[in-house]
Structure 1
Amino acid sequence: MSDAQLSGVAVSPGRASGPVVRVTEPLGEPASTPAPDDLHAEAARIAPAAQAVVSRLEAKAEAATGDAATILSTTAAMAGDPALVSQAEQLVTAQNIPAARAVYEAAGSFTHALATAGGYMAERVRDIEDVRDRIIAELLGVEPPGVPELERPSVLVARDLAPADTAGLDPALVLALATEEGGPTSHTAILARSLGIPAVVAVRGLLSFGAKALAVDGDTGAIEEVDPGAPAVAAVSAGAFDWDGAGRTSDGHLVKVLGNVGAPPDAHAAAEAGAEGVGLFRTEFCYLDAADEPSVEEQRAAYAAVLEPFRGKPVIVRTLDAGADKPLAFLSPEAEPNPALGVRGVRVAFDRPDVLDRQLEAIAGAAADSGADVSVMAPMVATAEEASWFADRVRAAGVARAGVMIEIPAAALTATEVLDAVDFVSVGTNDLAQYTFAADRQLGAVAKLNDPWQPGLLRLIALIGDAARETGKPAGVCGEAAADPLLARVLTGVGVTSLSMNAASVRAVGATLAGASLADCERAAQAALGAPTAAAARTAAKDA
C-alpha cells in the first residue's frame, strides 16, 4: 500500500471522490469550576437547554423520512429524558458544579450502563454522547459539534459520526463518508447504506492523513489521496432493482427478508420498510432500567406493542440476553474475570429458570394479544444439550417453535446436532465474528477482523447452511452481515433461508436478491469461500 492510500472496513457500496471536509470534533470535558453563585438557578438552566435540543432534533425529524426520521426522533427523546435532566440537576446542587459539568457526569452514568450491557446496547453509547454534547453546547452558548454547512459536494472525514448527524446528511452534497472509528454495525454504516452514500469506517490513521481530497471505495474499503484540482466524482455503484416486497431470488427461491427490532419504533420502521416479519426481536429494552424484574403483565404489554405491526407475520423473539457483562440488578450477578466468556445469555437461565419461564409466559401472552406468528430463540447457546433444554421449556410454555442463536463457533461446528434439537437456528454474525477472531466488536483497532466478509466467518456460516439443508430446517442470519446486499447473495448461496437486518437495509437487500438467480448466489458464495482475505472475498463475489 502506498503512502497515499489507507484502508478500512467497507460498509456502504459505491465509489466517489472529492474535496475533504472535516467534521467538528466532539466538545471536550467541561470544567468543574468555578462553583455557581446560585446553585438552584444553575440547576434550573438544564431543563430549558435540553428542551431546546429536543426542539431542534424534532424539527429535523419532521423534515426527514423513513429510518432517518426514526433515529432523529429517538435522539430527541434521549435529549429530553427526564432521568438525565433530573440527575444532572441533582449533581449541580450535590457537588456544587456548573450545569455543563453536571450534564457531562450524568450522561457518563448512562453511557457506562450501555457499555457494560454490551452488544447492540453498547453501540448506542455514541447516541448518548451526542445528546450530551448538544446540551452542553447549548448551556455554554457555543456551536454544537457535527457536520458543518457544506458549500459544495464533499467527502466527509470524521473520528465518528453521531446518528443525528448522519441522519441529516444530504446525499446531493455528501459524496462519501470515511471515519477513523466505528464498525460494520454502527449507525454511520446503517444510515450510509440507506442514503446510498459510499462509506468506509475504522480507517486507522485517517485523521492524521492530511489529504485535501480523497477517493473512497465503499466496495473494497480503500481510501486514496487524489488531486485536489480534479473534478468531484459522485457515487458510482451497482443499480438497484425494483422490489415487490417478496423475499425471493429471480427464479423464485424463497429467502425471507426480515427486520431486526428492539422497541416499538424499530418495529414500525421495519414494517414501513416492507419487512416480511421480524428475524430478531431483542427483549432487553424491557429490563434495562428495571431495579426489579418486570412482572409478567408488564412484559406482556411491552412485547405486544412491538409485535402489533406484524399481525399474522412471523416474529422471532430472543429471550433475555443478560449476564455478567450485561448486569441487571435483580439477577445479582457475581463478578467475573472475563465476562464475555462467562455466565451470559442462556447460561443465566440455567441458574434462574424461573426468570426464563416468566418471560416465556409473557411472550406467549403477547403473541395471543397481537396475532403475530411468534417463535422464540435463546442467545449464546454452545451445545446441542443446551439447545434441547431450552426447546423443552419453550414448548412447555405453549410456544410452538423453539430455536437458538449460533454465536459461538462450537455451535456452528455442531450445527447438525443443534438443529436436531430445535426447529430453527439464527446466526448472530456480530458475536460469531467476535468469538471466532478473538476481536472485541466495539474496538475500532480490530474492526477489520469483524468484517463479515472474513473467509473464516463465511466458512462457518457455510457449515450451518449445510446442516440446514441436511435436516430440512431453516437457518437465518440476523447480524448486520445480512444488511449488505452483495453479502446477502453469498449467504443465500450457502443455504441461509432468511435474512434479518435494520429497517434501512430491507428494500436494498430484497431488490438485490430479486435480481439474481439461486445459481448466481451459489456462484458468488463459492467464489467468496475460496478467497484468502475479506477484501478478496468481496471482490470475488462481485466478479462472480
Structure 2
Amino acid sequence: MAALRGVGIGQGVATGPVRRMAEALPAPENVPTTLGADAERTRAQEAIADVAADLTRRAEAVDGAAQEVLEAQAMIAEDPTLADEVEERIAAGATAEWAVHDAFAGFRASLEAIGGYLGERAADLDDIAQRVLARLRGVAAPGVPDPGYPFVLVARDLAPADTALLDLDKVLALITTDGGPTSHTAILAREKGIVAVVGAVDAAGLADDETVIVDAAAGTITTEPSADELARATARAAEKQAADTAPPTPGALADGTPIALLANLGKPGDAVDAVARGAEGVGLFRTEFLFLSSTNAPTVSAQREAYRELLAAFPGRKVVVRVLDAGADKPLPFLNDAHEENPALGLRGLRALRASEDILREQLTALAEAQAETEADLWVMAPMVATVEETAYFTAIAREYGLRTAGIMVEVPASALLADRLLAHADFASIGTNDLTQYTMAADRLLGSVASFQDPWHPAVLRLVAEVGRAGAALGKPVGVCGEAAADPLLAVVLAGLGVGSLSMAPAALADVRRALAQHTLEDARRIAAAALAADDAGAARAAAQAAAAPDPSLPTR
C-alpha cells in the first residue's frame, strides 16, 4: 500500500480500476504541401469549423460553468485573428496540419503573455488544436477513454470539453497530475460533484487497471489497498451518498450559530439546481455573462429581464449581485480594450466602471427595476475595491437608484487592512478569496508555474480574512466569503472561526460544507482557526487545522 498526495476537491471517496487518458497527438512536421494552398486552406477551414460546431453542440448539452467554458472555446476556435495566422502559414507553403499547429502555438504564447482572463483561455488552445489536428488526420481526438466499465480517470489535466461531459456513471473519480484547487478542472469537478484529487504529481506512475482509493477529503490516492480499506471506503461513500440526498437544512455550527450557505451563480437558469441543493440564497451572481459575448453593452431591458428571472427564484431570500467585473483582463470593446502590460493590476472592476459610468448606471437601473418586480432581498456589490473613496462612491451611486444594501468585495490586501474604514461606508463585505490570495502572494492564480503559492490556506491570507471579520463584528456589518475557499469543508470551519457569517460556493459543494459546519461549535471553529493562523505556510495551516478538528488521536483526521 502507498498513499499519493494531491489537493482533494470536496469530501467524496471512490474506489475502482485506473484508466489513463490517451497522450496528445504528436506535433506535425514542417514539410511543404503537396496539395497546394487552396486545398490546404479548405482542409483547415473545414476542420476548424467542424470543431467549433462540435464544441457548440457540447455547450448546448450542459449548463453552468461548463457551458460558459465550452462556448468560450468555440469562440476561440473561430477567432478571426487565429484564422489569419493559419492562412498566412498556408500561403507560405505549409500544410494545414503545420499551419494549425504553429498558429495555435503562437496564439497561445501571446495570450499567456497577456495573462488574466485571456491567459486562462490560453490553456484551452491546446485542446482545440488537438481536436483540429485529429480532424485533419482523420483520427479520434485524444479524450476520455471508454473501457466499457466504471473506472478512475487519470490524466495530466482535462480539457474543459472533456470535464464538462464526463459520464458520471462510468467515471468514478478523477486524478490529475497538474493543476490546483482553482484550475478549470477543479472548479468543474466541484460543480459536478466529481470525486477528485488534482496536482498529484506522483500519480503519473499509475497503471491501467490498477485498483486505487481516491479520497478527496484527505487529498490522497491509495494504491494496492487491502480488502478492509476497500470496505471502509465503500461504506464511507454510501454514507456520503445518503447524507447528500437527505433534505437540506440551514447552515449552522453544532451550537446553533447560523452560517448562511449561499450559491455562486453565473446565469439565472442555474438557480433551480441551487434551490434544490438547499442554497439559502445567492452570495455571488456574476453579471459578466450578459456582457462578455457582446460587442455592445446589453440594454437596460435585457438586463432587467435576466435579473428579474434570478430574483424571482429566491423570494424573501438574500441575492447578492456583483456589478460587472471586467476591464483590461476581460477586454470589452464598449468598456476598455486598451492593452496593458499587467492587466491583473490595471483598469478592471470598479475602476473600469467608473471610467465608463454610463454602463454602471444602466446596470443599477436594471437591478432597481428588477427588484421592484420581485420579492427577493437584493444586495449589490462592487468588485476590486481598494480605497475608502471607492467604497463611498459605490454606495452613494447605488443609493441614488434606491438599492438599499450596497457592499464591496474584499479582493486586495488594501481593502482587508482598512476594512473597518471601508465598512463604515459599506453595508457589507464579501471576501473574494481567489483574488485575495493572488494579490497577497503575488502569484497569478491562472499561472501553473506559481500554483504552489495560490493557496487560500496560507496564514497571510487567513490573517486578512480575520481583519475583515473583526471589522464586521465591531461595526455590526455582515462579512461573507464567495471565493473557492468557501467550498473547502474544513476551511469553511476556519472561516467561520475568523468571523465570517456566510459562505457562498458552487451548489454541489453545499452538502459537504453543511456537514462539516455541523460537527463543530463556534468555540471549536475559533480554536481550529487559531491553529491554522499559527502555522508558517499553507500546508502547515491545513495540517494544523486537521489536527485541531480531530483532537482525539484515536479518531481519523478529516
Q: Which residue matches 1:64?
A: none
Contact 1:180 1:207 in 2 (8 A): yes
CA positional deviation for 1:499:
0.6
Q: Which residue matches 2:216?
A: 218
CA positional deviation for 1:535:
3.8
Are residues 1:458 and 2:462 paired?
Answer: yes
CA positional deviation for 1:83:
9.2
Are residues 1:22 and 2:29 paired?
Answer: no
Are residues 1:200 and 2:197 paired?
Answer: yes
Are residues 1:406 and 2:404 paired?
Answer: no
Q: Which residue matches 1:543?
A: 550
3-state SS of 1:183 partner: coil
In the aligned structure 1, how far is the partner of 2:299 from the partner of 2:68? 26
Contact 2:277 2:508 in 1 (8 A): yes
Moved more, 284-293 or 455-464: 284-293
Q: Which residue matches 2:116?
A: 118
One-letter code aligned to 1:441: R
Q: Which residue matches 2:9?
A: 11
Contact 1:155 1:174 in 2 (8 A): yes
CA positional deviation for 1:181:
2.6
CA positional deviation for 1:264:
2.8
Moved more, 284-293 or 30-39: 30-39
CA positional deviation for 1:329:
1.2
**Number of positions where the alignment pairs a residue of Structure 1 with one of Structure 2:** 532
The structure-2 alpha-carbon separation of the partners of 1:448 and 1:38, relative to structure 1 and needing over 3 Å to count, comes to: closer
Are residues 1:254 and 2:293 paired?
Answer: no
3-state SS of 2:424 partner: helix
Contact 1:314 1:372 in 2 (8 A): yes
3-state SS of 1:145 partner: coil
Query: 394, 401, 407: which is aligned to 2:398?
Result: 394
Query: 477, 481, 501: which is aligned to 2:505?
Result: 501
Moved more, 183-192 or 465-474: 183-192
One-letter code aligned to 1:396: E
User: TM-score when scaled to structure 2?
Assistant: 0.79
In the aligned structure 1, how far is the partner of 2:72 from the partner of 2:359? 29
Deviations 1:455-514 (A, max 9, x none): 221222122111111111100000011111222122112111111111221232233333
CA positional deviation for 1:435:
0.5
The structure-2 alpha-carbon separation of the partners of 1:248 and 1:125, relative to structure 1 and needing over 3 Å to count, comes to: farther
One-letter code aligned to 2:547: A
Q: Which residue matches 1:267?
A: 271
Moved more, 516-525 or 30-39: 30-39
Q: Which residue matches 2:555?
A: none
The structure-2 alpha-carbon separation of the partners of 1:114 and 1:288, relative to structure 1 and needing over 3 Å to count, comes to: farther
Moved more, 276-285 or 143-152: 143-152
In the aligned structure 2, how far is the partner of 1:127 from the partner of 1:268? 29
Deviations 1:331-387 (A, max 9, x none): 345433322222221122333333322221122122234443211111111122221
Q: How does 1:32-51 map onto structure 2 within 5 Å?
A: 34=35, 35-37=37-39
Unaligned runs of 5+ in 1: 62-67
Moved more, 495-504 or 212-221: 212-221
In the aligned structure 2, how far is the partner of 1:153 from the partner of 1:246? 35
Q: How does 1:465-504 map onto structure 2 within 5 Å?
A: 465-504=469-508
Q: CA RMSD in A?
A: 4.1
3-state SS of 1:420 partner: coil
Deviations 1:398-450 (A, max 9, x none): 11111000001111111111111110000000000001111110112222221
One-letter code aligned to 1:540: A
Q: Which residue matches 1:180?
A: 177
In the aligned structure 2, how far is the partner of 1:306 from the partner of 1:107? 40
Contact 1:391 1:421 in 2 (8 A): yes
Are residues 1:438 and 2:436 paired?
Answer: no
In the aligned structure 2, how far is the partner of 1:433 from the partner of 1:272? 31
Contact 2:104 2:125 in 1 (8 A): no
User: TM-score when scaled to structure 1?
Assistant: 0.81
In the aligned structure 2, how far is the partner of 1:422 from the partner of 1:410? 15
Q: How does 1:60-209 map onto structure 2 within 5 Å?
A: 84=78, 118=116, 130=127, 133-134=130-131, 137=134, 140-150=137-147, 154-169=151-166, 174=171, 176-193=173-190, 198-204=195-201, 207=204
The structure-2 alpha-carbon separation of the partners of 1:93 and 1:383, relative to structure 1 and needing over 3 Å to count, comes to: closer
Moved more, 10-19 or 320-329: 10-19
3-state SS of 2:334 partner: helix
In the aligned structure 1, how far is the partner of 2:27 from the partner of 2:330? 27
Query: 529, 533, 543: which is aligned to 1:529?
Result: 533
CA positional deviation for 1:389:
1.6
Unaligned runs of 5+ in 2: 552-558
CA positional deviation for 1:147:
1.8
In the aligned structure 1, how far is the partner of 2:160 from the partner of 2:188? 8
The structure-2 alpha-carbon separation of the partners of 1:48 and 1:409, relative to structure 1 and needing over 3 Å to count, comes to: closer
In the aligned structure 2, how far is the partner of 1:324 from the partner of 1:85? 19
Deviations 1:279-325 (A, max 9, x none): 11111222213333333233323333443422332111111212222
Contact 2:47 2:132 in 1 (8 A): no
In the aligned structure 1, how far is the partner of 2:518 from the partner of 2:254? 5
Contact 1:407 1:427 in 2 (8 A): yes
Contact 2:48 2:77 in 1 (8 A): no
Contact 1:319 1:379 in 2 (8 A): yes
